[in-house]
Structure 1
């Protein structure tokens, strides 16, 4: 429930009370003596979804859009008319005024916002270099990226240009700052005792995860944006939802910065694509949820222009996502190809060494080097095989060539094969007797 307090302008007291009586709302009226242009203050309880339509009716009764209005959350209301009001206004969607206030509170002051962006990026960069998922999640708790995303979408549907511009600016500048901080930190740590020389960030699993964006990334970003919009529009807890939004943005931004620091343009480019896809998806989903939830500007004459602006902005976001989705589609297809080849090459290698003519060899391991970048650069896959043999077993000089031909015939790919041999030896067990067990070298 919400408790609404409104100052009534001179000459409108009767019409305001009549509007409340017409809707069956309990109210209390207090004389106003503080400001000359108001004659009374009216106070009444109403369900969350009823705040917006009730205030619109009061504006028709003479209360202006800029009138002094307070909306307070209440835990308990005892009234004979509450049940009928709850039936009239079901659901728990917050009012337009509350949404705007929530959006403004979610976007902190710039100094605070940028400070948290820097701190979360430092933590996330450290988590990437340490390959620590727990550290990266901790960084997401600090990141304040949910506020600007919600602010931009709420400002768009409510015709608040200042709010929308602030949200877009904070998002863009914040992510650019995150990339710059990660690049500076990576350049500072590279080659030190903290990050040993020769470290290849492309081999770190947490980094590699952000350099091969696919369509699953798109679904994650859409889910995060929808969850954020619903949590704000329903007045539920949004802190943990903000973590989900930050997960979709800060780690890939930090990865792009590390790619710049290490001089790997492919890492920086692929991570930047992931940042852009996630950013656009979150904004598009939040904008759609707010619009479909029925949020519109206060002034009726603004609604047509806002509808056009929302549709235009949505179209721009969709077109940008479609263009970037081409990259996601290529990466997804390439990932499918490499995974399929890896499984097939491994199975065929095991099958090759299962032949009776090669019974003197024991297959120890199979490693396939083939990823999305190899497909783009048209590099052939490489299969590295480790084979065990006894001392008495001679090495066949054409074993690698035979395996190469077998894999090319079965997979249809040009393959480079490397076979390593391990000579296996086992020690003879030494029998333990009672005498030898208790024999002392000092005796």
Structure 2
């Protein structure tokens, strides 16, 4: 544990009369920001900070603006955290702020297993509607222009290589289906399971306001309903709890505006594409040295999840005849010798050693990091054995330009095979993979 982190926290806490922090523990998860839980006297607190100042570069809202918004949300009755103190440059530990800890857990799997779906979706709808009604006058909240934002996503995709055909196809659909501007409301931007605190099945807190902006409120509903955030319940599109219709009804009953299915569909495409690029961005953070954690490179490989989800949405646009074409065979599995162990077998041996010998010796954040490291070894092992690829620069360019589309003979079947093989190697436990296999392979 860093002595400088404890010293910086001590300086920040002294400004509000709290004592030296104790029991500092890094919390698991958090794709962009670090979270540290600790005690300060009788208070239980959480520090939220950027792992490096470079990771805050280009963000439309800094941590001071974020803290101001969180305070405003709490004052408006939303179950937002209580901000206690913001970090200053003199603290020497980066950018962020300290909050009073909220009771409960953000674990989505535990929550989905124990909650009453009707009560929980009512809580979620209430907080969504309350968030969208917050008055942002005087707050440094950025305004989102959908067309400009999509243009920025296109530029990022090109910077990342523009070599993933499914993402190229999704981008073309998005650019052809931008909805007219909506009256701007405060959009949380990351309102999903994993960022919501629950206790005994009831909502106790709304976390992670870093992506908040003024825009179309349908974006929040669509993001929370993405397949990746349903966790163990991919069959329940409304936050892993219910149907989209029941979510929309609950939202409107809580004071929200009338639900528009077409806007919701656009934002489902948009945020799925956005998160695919967000995953790829984790790889650039790692390569550029901003965060050399193994978690960064593993999250980068979750792009395959979003590609599968996008193709499940996009295939509805293909002619029936194309949807009926069988999948081409998968790439042949690499042959292994009966003598010397293959690279995949060596990785398996390392993974088994980590499980049997090292896992009993670690706890807390180190246990989480160990699980991530084993996941990384598994990805490389399966990649060596199966040799999948989601990369095809020319096909991506043809799909982005419209030269090739889902009516082109055999393209849908090719993309399906590409998505299945890549996700099987990268994240074989992703729940939607089984759904896609049943639909496309008839199993």
TM-score bucket (shorter structure)? under 0.3
The structure with the larger Rg is 1
Higher normalized helix content (fraction of residues): 1
Identify the structure with bigger relative contact order (alpha carbons < 8 Å, sequence gap 6+).
2
- TM-score scaled by structure 2? 0.27
